[in-house]
Chain A
Amino acid sequence: MSPAMSPILSTVAFRILAPLAIAGLAFVAGETWAMRTGVPAYGIDETILDAQADRAARRLDADVLLTGDSSGLVGVDAPRLARLMGGSVQSLSTMGNVGPAGWGALVGRARAAGTRPRVVVVLVHGGVLGHELRGNEFEQAALGGAWPPQRFGANLRRRLKLALGEFGRYPMPGPWGRMYGDAEGLRRAVQSGQGTVTDPSSSVRCPSAGFTFGISEPIAARLQTLRRELAALAPARALVGLTPLPAGCAGAATEPSREETLRRLAAAIGAAPTDVLALPATLPDDQFAGFTHLNAAGRGRFTVLLADGLRRALAPDETVRR
């Protein structure tokens, strides 16, 4: 090493490496502290799951309880459905990546809190049933009741983002931010919508031309958990339905595969063939906010169709009202 390098290395050591080591140690200490408690990120999906988990922990006045993925969350207007059905309606629908076991866990939490619906409706989108769902933080949060620790390095940053979000009321990204503002705004919307909200997005992209339905192995396995939770709500009747696809995404194989998948889904959750809701396979593309999500117009129309389907599924002497 040349003599000229010595002061340079000394400078690198004291001016760069020493402060970097101190900052790194402080970060590691903070991260270790943050890892002790899971911290949800400040995002749309996390907020929805948190809001629904909070609602599930309270006794809900629900003659009809909806559960399932986000196609039900944004595809149904619960207050409107309640008016159409003449009874109280609450939704605990969340997202596809929460999975059937997670949906079941929320239903189980609602039961434990004293919620006693007469009818439970499982609403799922075909695109979700085919997912090769792997354990993820959303499912873990729904099952465990708290957010699991993240990979090392992410927890302190999540805490920071959450604190900044709560302090600065950061708007959610894109159209969700424009419609609901910050996370608290979305949380309030979930509450006032009795567990349902409108998706303000607008971009329909089909995953493949001529969509075909199917149930993946991981989803099939998790449906057993949902089945147990539904059974525990007896004598509540469990009904099941598939939410619609954009018409432009359907093909010749869509309808037959849908029938078969609906039959398998009903069997998996212990529903009789008469418990399958007659719902439209498709709706026009302009009524969708995305491949799985209806927009405000589609939501209004599907809510009416769902009310019709529920009426048809219920026996003439059966009502949803206690």
Chain B
Amino acid sequence: MSFVSLPFVVLALASLTLYWLLRDRLVPQNVVLLIASWVCYGWTNLTWLALLVGLTVVNFTLGLAIERRREMSRVLLIAGITANLGVLFVYKYYDFFVLNVVEALAALGFRADPTLLGLALPIGISFHVFQLIAYLVDVSRGELAARRDPLAFACFVAYFPQVAAGPIERGARLLVQFERPRSLSADAVAKGSWLIVLGTFMKVVVADPLGPLVDAGFDHANTNAASLVAGTLAFTAQIYADFCGYSLMAKGISALFGIELVWNFDRPYFATSIQDFWRRWHMSLSRWLRDYVYIPLGGNRAGPLRTEFNLLATMALAGLWHGAAWNFVVWGLLHGGALAVARRASRVGLVQRLPAAATWLLTMVVVVVGWMVFRMETLGALANLDHFAWGAWHSAVVLLVLVLAAPVAAVEIAQWRTGDPYVVLGLGGARSTAVTAALMFGILLFAGQFKVQFIYFQF
């Protein structure tokens, strides 16, 4: 169920009303949350809900077993990770894996005719699988006590503001919030509603109208490289506005339930290095990869070469996490390679000698080229390009990107200058109301005009 749909608005308002009517009663409040979450998740596909419930039961049980049987904890942890990744593999990677094996065999002269599963990918499966793996690892490390309240645990897995596309939360942050009384403050309402308005604006007014232009730019039949350039620039704005918009809405909606979600974005296009970019882009995934992949691989503790390998391996995994396709892996390797190069350049003092504008530009070149690779369905499409002819359409696309993104850029510049993510709320009554009203007007105007699903729902 999409945030920008009538059923979701009805569900959120109904559950919010009931939830606060039951204030100070933890268990009934959690029941409301769980029912709303399961309705939201099972809305389009009951099988996916059954899978989510199954993952909840398995991980809840494994968490307890890991804690109670310390001598077996490593085996149980491996079993848990295997079970979670197994589900992910079956739904997301099996067909991709089989097709690549068949292609490899065909190249060697062998013919195979395997059965493909063709399963529809459950919404947000990569997000909740990673969240559950983090829970099991944290329990096995003794950093988090295994939970004994199945209701709170089920809320942690299915919590509807974030189940579809994150942020990937840790048990120590989110789970504990389902176990203690929540309260609603005027401040939380103001901040939550502002985030919802800004997030919806980013989705409906910035991301969605760019969708058809991105599609046109990346059209397979297009042989003009200029169209790919314009499409990539539009996609750079679209994917940020789409995913950040979702994350802001998730954080805002959650705030209205008295539950705080982590920030997932921190003005990533202001980054002046590729490391800085990954500290600002999809921050919950970056931290997950750092804590559960990069550091266990050895991080930066085993010399420069090993560090660079670890960066490449971690980012290749980050790419594969997004989807079962080689372009995602190449995208991850591109970022991993850029991180490794930036690390070397920094060690020899090259980065420090460059002005901030130059490092920002270099970072954006990597990021934008990365988005081109990310968005292309097949890298072979690059071979179709046979000329570069920049025309009126390309200029119009770039101008439209700038016009649509300008309000968001203005808000982010104000955030950057003040260091306050809620800077608009601090503008004072009339000015704050005027800005919010302007964004709401934009939402009313654009609502329903470009029906584009959230990009990250597919991951």
Contacts and interface: CB of A to CB of B under 8 A. Distances in A.
Contact of B433 (A7, A19, A157, A178): A19
Contacts of B209: 164, 168
A164 B450 CA distance: 12
Interface of B: 184-187, 189-190, 193-194, 197, 209, 212-213, 215-216, 219, 221, 392-393, 396-397, 399-400, 425, 429, 432-434, 436-438, 440-441, 443-449
Nearest to A15: B190
Interface size class of A (residues with CB under 8 A): 20 to 34
Give the top 4 A-B pairs by smallest Cβ distance, nearest first. A23-B440, A19-B437, A7-B186, A19-B436
A79 to B, nearest CB: 25
A30 B397 CA distance: 26
A10 B445 CA distance: 27
Interface stretch (A55-63, A128-136, A169-177, A276-284): A169-177
B189 A169 contact: no
Contact of B212 (A8, A27, A171): A171
A11 B186 contact: yes
A157 B448 contact: yes
A177 B212 CA distance: 10
Interface string A152-187: 000011001100100111110100011001100000
Given A168-B396, A178-B221, 11 more contacts: A12-B193, A14-B433, A22-B440, A23-B441, A26-B441, A157-B446, A167-B399, A167-B400, A170-B212, A170-B213, A171-B216
Interface centre among B184, B185, B212, B400 (most CB of A within 10 A): B212
Interface in A36-73: none
Interface in A165-224: 167-171, 173, 177-178, 181-182
Nearest to B403: A167
A171 B193 contact: no
A167 B395 CA distance: 10
Given A8-B184, A156-B445, A170-B213, A22 B219 contact: no
B444 A24 contact: yes
29 contacts: A7-B185, A7-B186, A8-B189, A11-B186, A11-B187, A14-B433, A15-B190, A15-B193, A19-B436, A20-B437, A20-B440, A22-B437, A22-B440, A22-B441, A23-B438, A23-B441, A26-B441, A27-B445, A157-B446, A157-B447, A157-B448, A168-B209, A168-B213, A169-B392, A171-B213, A171-B215, A178-B219, A178-B221, A182-B393
Nearest to B215: A171
A24 B436 CA distance: 12
Given A14-B433, A23-B437, A160 B446 contact: yes
Interface string A1-38: 00000011011101110111011101100100000000
B397 to A, nearest CB: 6
Contacts of A27: 441, 444-445
Contact of B186 (A8, A18, A167, A181): A8
Majority SS of interface residues in chain B?
helix
A8 B186 CA distance: 4
A19 B440 CA distance: 7
Nearest to A20: B440
Nearest to A175: B221
A11 B215 CA distance: 41
Contacts of A178: 219, 221
Interface centre among B197, B221, B425, B436 (most CB of A within 10 A): B436
A161 B450 CA distance: 9
Contacts of A15: 189-190, 193-194, 425, 432-433, 436
A230 to B, nearest CB: 40
Nearest to B425: A15
A182 B186 CA distance: 48
Contacts of A181: 393
Contacts of A23: 437-438, 440-441, 443-444
Contacts of B184: 8
B429 A14 contact: yes
Nearest to B435: A19
Contacts of B429: 14
A11 B189 contact: yes
Interface centre among B209, B397, B432, B440 (most CB of A within 10 A): B440
